[in-house]
Copies of this chain bind each other. A is one copy, B any other.
Amino acid sequence: MKKPTPATIEDVARLAEVSIATVSRAIHMPEKVAVSTRQKVDRAIAVTGYTANAMARSLRLGRSNMILAIAPDIGDPNFAPILIGLENEARAGGYGLLIGHTQGDPLRGVEYLKFLNSNQAAGMILFTGYVPLDPASQTRLPPMVAVGEPLAQGGIPFVGTDDRGGARKMVELLIAQGHRRIAFIGDSRERLSHHRRRIGFDEGLAAAGLRDGQQVLDSDGTLEGGRAAVERLFLRDDLPTAFACVNDQTAAGVILSLTARGYRIPEDFSVTGFDDIPQAGFLSPALTTARQPRTAIGQAAMAILLGLVEGEAPEQAETLLMPDLILRDSVGARPVNRRF
């Protein structure tokens, strides 16, 4: 019969013929222990296959070694790559990563907050775009870092894409291709990230002295919305030669609508997206877009959170990572002879 129960610190101590205090020291403060003793302990640990019971350790320390990440929707294509970054960094720091999803229900956020307060996790990564707040509990908020969508509330560090800079780079690309009349299909809902893309668009155009060529259509960030925006545009006469879309879904709608009308992309119109969702490369034509540096975002966010957990002062309010422009087939030179 093998060992039915995992080795405890006591097993190690007995085998090494020292006290449990010494074993603990040998592990956590090796320099405070005689070399010979340390060796005995190390050997005993190897023999027993000892791993400290994390529960006991957490109880004693009053702090867990888990980080909880909560998201409104785990299925979000942005989620997985960020998760990888989070998990890598957490593991490197000796932490485990827990995940929870709220399915958009703020109540579930509060539930997870309780979870934190019961010491099950040392800190929290927020994908939600808002801070779950338990009106009942008056305990101070645990360490948190927001990711993906900036937080309206202040005081919580945010790590995400440089939406403004990315949008600006996108416009500059279009301008470099000769486009002078560019439409921005935006998102009028309250999303900070989308608002910032709009600002980057404006800036890029203004810097090139092209404020006149600017057209802005409001939409809702969905494929349907993108389609509808194009339809509205065709009611007027003053067509752009390029569409800069607030995200890939919108761009997909624009492409579909344009194609349905018999236009060719990029010969007749150029269109760009933002995000680089998995489907972006499968559209026809394949979509030129700005890819969010998702894994890097996850990694940076976790690094900051672990710093917070371990008592460091927060560095800065926002850490913005520049997206990469992914050049595919939906952007071309401005059509020279517009046939319409």
> Is the CB of A56 closer than 8 A to any CB of chain B?
yes
Cα(A118)–Cα(B282), bound, Å: 45
Measured in the bound complex, the distance between the Cα atoms of B87 and A117 in whole Å is 20
Residue of B nearest to A277 (CB): B278
Contact B279 A139 (CB under 8 A): no
- CB-contacts of A1-37 with B (<8 A): 2-4, 6
* Contact mask for chain A residues 197-214; partner B; CB cutoff 8 A; 1 contact, 0 none: 000000000000000000
Collect the chain B residues with CB atoms within 8 Å of residue A282's CB. Answer: 279, 282-283
A77–B278 CB distance below 8 A = yes
Q: Is A319 an interface residue (CB 8 A)?
A: no
In chain A, residues 264-280, which have Cβ atoms closer than 8 Å to a Cβ of chain B? Answer: 278-279
Question: Taking the nearest CB of chain B, how far is it from the CB of A285, in angstroms?
Answer: 11
A87 touching B100, Cβ below 8 Å: yes
- Number of chain A residues close to chain B: CB under 8 A: 48
Does A140 count as interface, using CB distance less than 8 angstroms?
yes
Whether the pair B98, A55 counts as a contact (CB closer than 8 A) is no
Residues of B within 8 A of A316 (CB): none
Copies in the complex: 2
**Nearest Cβ distance between residue A57 and chain B, in whole angstroms?**
9
- In the docked arrangement, what's the CA distance between A136 and B51, Å? 13
- Cβ of A83 < 8 Å from any Cβ of B? yes
- Residues of B within 8 Å of A134, CB to CB, are 49
Residues of B within 8 A of A4 (CB): 139-140
With both beta carbons as reference points, the residue of chain B lying nearest to A90 in the complex is identified as B100
Minimal beta-carbon separation of A27 from chain B (angstroms): 13
Q: For the complex, what is the distance from the CA of A259 to the CA of B220, rounded to whole Å?
A: 34
Asked whether A3 lies within 8 Å of B139 as measured between CB atoms, the reply is yes
Q: In the complex, which residues of chain B have a beta carbon less than 8 angstroms from the beta carbon of A98?
A: 66, 96-99
Interface presence of A327 (CB below 8 A): no
The answer to whether B55 and A119 touch across the interface, beta carbons within 8 angstroms, is: yes
Q: Is A128 an interface residue (CB 8 A)?
A: no
Shortest A82–chain B CB gap in Å is 10
Q: Give A75-100 interface residues, CB cut-off 8 Å to B.
A: 75, 77, 79-81, 83-84, 87, 91, 96-100
Q: Please determine whether A49 and B119 come into contact, CB atoms closer than 8 angstroms.
A: no
Q: Most chain-B CB neighbours within 10 Å: which of A55, A79, A120, A284?
A: A55
**Which B residues are in CB contact (< 8 Å) with A283?**
282
Task: Report B-chain residues with C-beta under 8 Å of the C-beta of A64.
Answer: 55
Does A118 lie within 8 Å of B74, measured CB to CB?
Answer: no
Show 22 A/B contacts (Cβ-Cβ < 8 Å), sorted by A: A2-B139, A3-B139, A4-B139, A6-B139, A49-B136, A49-B138, A51-B118, A55-B59, A59-B59, A74-B80, A74-B83, A74-B87, A75-B81, A84-B101, A87-B101, A96-B98, A96-B100, A96-B115, A98-B99, A278-B278, A278-B279, A279-B282
Q: What are the 9 closest A-B residue pairs judged by CB atoms, nearest first? A: A51-B118, A55-B59, A55-B58, A282-B282, A2-B138, A54-B120, A75-B80, A279-B282, A49-B137
